[in-house]
Amino acid sequence: MTPEARSVTATASVPDTPAEPVTRVGRRFVGGIALVSLGMWTALYTPVQVLLAQQLETIDPHNKASALGLVTGLGAVTALVATPLAGALSDRTTSRFGRRRPWLAGGALGAALGLVVLAPQTTVTGVALGWCLVQLSLSAMLAGLVAEVPDQVPVAQRAVVSAWVGATQPLAVVLGTVLATVVVSGPHAGYPLVAAAVVLLAVPFVSSVRDARLPRSAVPAVNWSRFLAGFWISPRLHRDFALAWLTRLLVQLGNATGTLYLLYFLRDEVRYEQRFPGHKAEQGLLTLVSLYTVGIVLTAFVGGVVSDRLGRRKSLVTASGVVIALGSALLAIRPTWPTALVAASLMGLGYGVYVSVDQALITQVLPTEGDRGRDLGVINIANSLPHVLAPAIAAVLVTHLGGYRALFAFASVLTLLGAVLVQRIRSVP
């Protein structure tokens, strides 16, 4: 489904966009956006955590780490460019289905196609091209999804809604790991199964959400130079937005470097398969992911409710970052299986609060009301860029600068820095 999108000048906002929504959203909206988010993250995390690693280990067992880094890095570069572009175009989409729904639906179908294409690939090049198609499509989904929250959810409800969306990330890892290791086995069956999930889980929200329709008269003629220039948001003029972007980058870079080689960490450092004869490292990964998910679910909603009721964001973001950093630090000090169990629990507890409260904070520092999709797309560069940087950083740390201990120490320091820096934001309590 191709959105009918037209660009406007970088400085213009959409005239018909309300300053802030005031009507609380109901359970149907919250449940629908949680499901579409679950499908989107399942399509992203299942390949990253399991399927790509398995596929590349078969294709090139001697260079599996560098091959995984190359593939995930190229995919992240694709998302880095595509997400803000899709967000800006969704701001100016004049489809009769609304501004965001075409991008959600088209992205889900494109991601499913890319996953099916990935299944039979037998070369690193083929895997890289298929994964870039998946990332391109998921970027379109993400652009539409994140913009729905400030478009339709009032400020006093955003942390709770963000908790529902944020909690689906670890749930997606568990769901995807179960699909790829328990329901079916291996990439050939795993990719098509995930493809079906991303489409089916998108249907309830895409078919029910009421999206504001933008009249063509509200969209001026295209000016590409100004349109592209609009992606530069001055840190001097929009200081809090810049700080929110930087703190997100630091925390997500810490998260990306600490989780990219988790399967290999269990296999090569913890020696899980030697410690537990008859068990595969993927089973250990599922255990850690399950603990992580339980932690997130336990705290995401509590953090969201507390933040919305108190109207405070920064202190909760800082506290959550400190807890995440502590989990990574434990792995750096003692990279063993019992420590990994404790670390996964701590990181889940911290990340649960972080994903709900930080996302709500970000929606309150957006520079312009009519360009929410674009501005959130720029914020999402801070989510995608770490996946470009992490493969190179993690590979160097693991192979040349101290191994997995150095990797987790680096992740801990970055996360702690981001947690502290958020206190410098002034416009949000």
Higher-pLDDT residue of 22, 203: 203
Categorize the per-residue pLDDT at 1 as very low, low, confident or very high, splitting at 50, 70 and 90. very low
Q: With contact defined as beta carbons under 8 Å apart, do 392 and 69 qualify?
A: yes
Q: What is the arithmetic mean of pLDDT over 186-205?
A: 96
With 80 as the cut, is the pLDDT of residue 355 above it?
yes
Contacts of 137 (CB under 8 A, 6+ apart): 106, 107, 108, 109, 110, 111, 113, 114
**E-assigned strand segments in 259-388:** none
Separation CA 201–CA 291 (nearest Å): 24
Residue type at 162 in one-letter notation: S
With 70 as the cut, is the pLDDT of residue 57 above it?
yes
With 70 as the cut, is the pLDDT of residue 214 above it?
yes
Question: Which has the closest alpha carbon to 298: 272, 320, 327, 265?
Answer: 320
Q: Where are the alpha helices (DSSP H) in 155-280?
A: 158-178, 187-208, 224-229, 239-259, 262-264, 272-275
Q: Nearest 5°: phi and psi at 93?
A: -80, 130
Separation CA 253–CA 54 (nearest Å): 23
Separation CA 245–CA 119 (nearest Å): 35
Among the ranges given (48-57, 187-196, 381-390), the one the predictor scored with the smallest mean pLDDT: 381-390
Q: In whole angstroms, how far apart are CA 319 and each of 167, 270, 413? A: 18, 29, 15
Q: What is the arithmetic mean of pLDDT over 147-160?
A: 94
pLDDT at 6: 34
Burial class of residue 210 (count of CB atoms within 10 Å of its CB; 0-12, 13-18, 19+)? exposed
Query: Per-residue pLDDT tens for 268-282?
Result: 999 999 999 999 998
Q: With contact defined as beta carbons under 8 Å apart, do 2 and 106 qualify?
A: yes
Contacts of 27 (CB under 8 A, 6+ apart): none
pLDDT at 222: 67
Categorize the per-residue pLDDT at 178 as very low, low, confident or very high, splitting at 50, 70 and 90. confident
Mean pLDDT, all residues of the chain: 90
Categorize the per-residue pLDDT at 329 as very low, low, confident or very high, splitting at 50, 70 and 90. very high
Q: What is the arithmetic mean of pLDDT over 373-401?
A: 88
CATH topology of domain 27-208+225-424: Growth Hormone; Chain: A; (1.20.1250)
pLDDT at 169: 84
Q: With contact defined as beta carbons under 8 Å apart, do 214 and 14 qualify?
A: yes
Among the ranges given (12-21, 40-49, 213-222, 329-338), the one the predictor scored with the smallest mean pLDDT: 12-21
Where along the chain do its domains lie?
Answer: 27-208+225-424
Q: With contact defined as beta carbons under 8 Å apart, do 193 and 179 qualify?
A: yes
pLDDT at 383: 84
DSSP percent split of the chain into helix, strand, coil, nearest 5: 75, 0, 20
CA 191 to chain CA centroid, Å, is: 19
Query: Per-residue pLDDT tens for 61-111?
Result: 988 888 988 998 899 889 989 999 999 999 989 998 999 999 999 999 999
pTM listed for this prediction: 0.81
**Percent of the chain's residues with pLDDT above 90:** 69
pLDDT at 344: 94
Q: Nearest 5°: phi and psi at 232?
A: -90, 115
pLDDT at 424: 97
